[in-house]
Amino acid sequence: MATGGLKRKNDSDNDVKAKKANNFWKGGLLTSMNDPDLQVFSDERITVIKDKYPKAKYHFLIMPKKNIPNLKSLKKEDIDLLKYMEEKGRELSKSSDAERQFRYGYHSIPSMSHLHLHVISQDFDSPCLKNKKHWNSFTTEYFIDSKDIIKTLEKTGKVEHESFHFTSLLKSDLRCHVCKKEIKTIPALKTHIQQHSYQVKTTDT
DNA sequence: GTTCTAGAAC
DNA sequence: GTTCTAGAAC
C-alpha cells in the first residue's frame, strides 16, 4: 500500500527529531557550569557547581574545564587533574561542614555528559532523592571512589568497565548505607536513615 | 538528568 | 482508597 510506505517514512523522521529533543538534557551540565546561581568556584582547570537537584544536604559537582566526556576518555596525563579535583572536593566539604562525612566519586554510568566528580555528604537528606535509582547510584558500587579511579588509571592507563554489571546494581534491593539493613520502600528508608544522622558526622568515630 | 502518571502493591 | 514504583517522554 502506498500510504504504508509514506507513513513509515514520516514515523522515522519523527523518531529522529524526537530522539534529538529527548536527549538534549544530556548536555545540561555545560549550561549549569556557567549558571551563576549554581557555580561556587572556578579557576583555570576546573569549575565547581552545586548539583541542581542535590541528593544530600551538600552535593557538589567538580568538572574539568578541559573537555573530558566520560571515564572512558581518561588518559594517564589526566591523573594530576583528577587528583586536583578530589583535593578541591575535600577542601570544599571541609569548609562547608567539617563535621560531616562526605564521599568523593564518579557514577560508573553517568546520565549526563562531561566528566563530573560528585562531592556528596552522607546524610542523603534531600527532597530531591526520590527513587531507587537515586539511592543505589550513590550507595552501591555504582558509585566509584575517586581514589579507585585514579588507582586504576595509574595502574592500567585507562578506566573501563562492563556496563551490564553496573546497570543491574541500580535495581538492587534498597539497603541502608550505614547499618546495611534492607528497607522495603524509599519513604521507609528516608525515615530509617534519620536515626543514623549522628553517625554520618566524623567527630565521634 | 527530571516530570508525569498508570497501575501495582498495600 | 492511598501509597509507591517504574517506564515513556514525538
Q: Is A167 (CB) below 7 Å from strand C?
A: no
A96-140 per-position pLDDT tens digit: 999 999 999 999 999 999 999 999 999 999 999 999 999 999 999
Predicted pLDDT of residue A4: 44
Q: Is A22 (CB) below 7 Å from strand C?
A: yes
Show the domains of chain A with their CATH numbers.
Answer: 22-196 (3.30.428.10)
pLDDT at A9 over 90: no
Whether A177 is catalytic: no
CB burial readout A69-93, b (16+ within 10 A) else e? ebbeebeeebbebbeebbebbeebb
> Annotated catalytic residue: which of A59, A107, A114, A116?
A116
Distance B5 C1' – A9 CA (angstroms):
30
Cα separation of A28 and A41, whole Å?
Answer: 18
Q: Is A92 helix (H, G, I), strand (E, B) or coil?
A: helix
Contact A123, A139 (CB under 8 A): no
In A 117-146, which Cβ lie closer than 7 Å to strand C?
131-132
